[in-house]
Structure 1
């Protein structure tokens, strides 16, 4: 049973690493495209900066779940080394429980926030110069796309910290 769970854990870990790589590549790609269009062609896309920020938000929250899963979050290793081994283990386990709690808080309030974003949009409006003059163009993206990562990251963080808790790493 534990071997099966370890295989699932490794698969999820690799998938999260791949997602982080994808969002980093998207962030760099959107930035390069926007800068090139702005300074070389003087025609920046309206969506460029917004999608760069959105990629960054998703990257950071997925990376949070990876750090909880790998036990690579900010830790007070110097203090742990000075404590007796058994007490250090208890303190580490306590902090893992706190990270699980943070994951549950992200789930609860993240779902509430996503639900509250119904009907709210980022207005990516812009003007275009045409033969008829200046035309106003509208384009909208739902705000819930940015905050949708909160409950997802909360689940992944709580799950990763729970795995780390039971491995006693």
Structure 2
């Protein structure tokens, strides 16, 4: 069971990292194309800025998952480090429960926003607006899973081996 969980965990994390790399690559290409078209040819593409915004939103949300996984998020460690070990563990669990609760809210409200955005399209690209708001749903779900894993398996190194 733990072997299958480890495999899924690694696969999902590699997929998130790959998607972030591809998004960053597309952002560089699209932004370069926009600059070239605007300042050299004086004919900016209408879709470039909108697509860059969509990609940046997804990049930011997926980056949150990576930051949480690697414990790179902001924390009040200078205060917590003064506590005894048992209190540190309790504060860590409470923090992760709070993150899990918030991610559950992100997931639930993200679903509602996706439903509302299903009828709208982005003006320049025609991309459904729900594709943008779906980032909330995916991020909320993956943060919830990551938080629960970190509560029950304090170090995810067990899954990363």
TM-score higher than 0.5 here?
yes
Q: Distance in 1 between matches of 2:15 and 2:118?
A: 29
- Report the CA distance between 1:2 and its aligned residue: 2.1
Q: Tell me how far 1:22 sits from its aligned partner.
A: 1.1
Deviation (angstroms), 1:147: 0.8
Moved over 3 A (4+): none
CA distance in 2, matches of 1:117, 1:165: 34
**Post-superposition offset of 1:118:** 2.5
C-alpha contact (below 8 Å) 1:68/1:99 kept by paired residues? no
What's the counterpart of residue 91 of structure 1? 91
Equivalent residue number for residue 71 of structure 2: 71
Q: Of 136, 148, 157, which residue of structure 1 is paired with 2:134?
A: 148
Q: Distance in 1 between matches of 2:62 and 2:31?
A: 20
Tell me how many residue pairs correspond in the alignment: 155
**What is the TM-score with the length of structure 1 in the denominator?**
0.86
Following the alignment from structure 1 to structure 2, what is the Cα–Cα distance between the partners of residues 86 and 3?
30
Larger Rg: 1
| Distance of 1:162 and 1:35 partners within structure 2 | 44
Give unmatched runs, 5+ long, in structure 1: 125-138
2:143 is matched with: 157
Q: Distance in 1 between matches of 2:17 and 2:38?
A: 31
Other-structure match for 1:35: 35
More helix by share: 2
Structure number with the higher strand fraction is 1
Q: Work out whether residues 106 and 154 of structure 1, in 8 Å CA contact, stay in contact via their aligned partners in 2.
A: yes
CA apart distance, 1:121: 2.0
In the TM superposition, residue 71 of structure 1 has moved relative to its aligned partner by: 2.3
Deviations 1:28-82 (A, max 9, x none): 1111111111111111111000011111000010111122222221112212211
- Given that 1:104 and 1:155 are in contact with CA atoms closer than 8 Å, whether structure 2 keeps it comes out as yes
Contact 1:66/1:160 (CA < 8 Å) preserved in 2?
A: no
Unaligned runs of at least 5 residues, structure 2:
156-161
Take 2:126 and 2:6, find their aligned partners in 1: how far apart are those partners? 42
Within 1, Cα distance between the matches of 2:102 and 2:34?
Answer: 35
Structure 2 distance, partners of 1:13, 1:45, is: 34
Question: In the alignment, which residue of structure 1 is the partner of 2:159?
Answer: none
Q: What CA distance in whole angstroms lies between the structure 2 residues aligned with 1:111 and 1:159?
A: 17
